[in-house]
């Protein structure tokens, strides 16, 4: 599995399309994205196991801003962070995309 992470609108989906050699309309066949929004629906471990079956998993980084006052929002943010850590552990390749630039964190990029 390739785990792609980075801030909002940083080019994660475009990068996924490049490495998968697909068009944006086809991406849903090969990748699942916005997985941070799924955090809290299952335990991070259960969700990571389920998502690891996809060829590419894309998550928007959370937690770099102001800490939410609402306890549920804080818990969801923590679950999303734990999920990202678990996905990075399970992934063969981890890439952070920032300003449209892929930064390899683990493994090798497909050719």
- Per domain, the residue ranges of the chain are 2-106
- Structural contact between residues 27 and 16, judged by C-beta atoms closer than 8 angstroms: yes
Dihedral sign for Cα atoms in the order 104, 108, 110, 111? positive
Strands 93-98 and 101-106, bridge-based pairing: antiparallel
| Distance linking the first and last C-alpha atoms of the chain | 15
Which CATH architecture describes the domain 2-106? 3-Layer(aba) Sandwich (3.40)
- Structural contact between residues 68 and 77, judged by C-beta atoms closer than 8 angstroms: yes
- The tens place of each residue's pLDDT in the chain, 111 residues long, gives 999 999 999 999 999 999 999 999 999 999 998 888 888 788 889 999 999 999 999 998 876 777 778 888 888 888 888 999 999 999 999 999 999 999 999 999 877
């Amino acid at each position: 599995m390739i785990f792609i992470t980075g801030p909002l609108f940083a080019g994660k989906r475009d990068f996924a399309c490049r490495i998968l050699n697909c068009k944006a309309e086809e991406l849903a066949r090969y990748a699942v994205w916005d997985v941070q929004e799924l955090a809290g629906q299952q335990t991070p471990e259960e969700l990571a196991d389920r998502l690891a079956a996809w060829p590419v998993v894309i998550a928007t980084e959370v937690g770099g801003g102001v800490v939410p006052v609402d306890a549920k929002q804080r818990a969801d943010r923590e679950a999303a962070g734990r999920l990202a850590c678990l996905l990075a552990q399970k992934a063969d390749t981890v890439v952070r995309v920032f300003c449209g630039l892929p930064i390899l964190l683990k493994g090798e990029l497909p050719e």
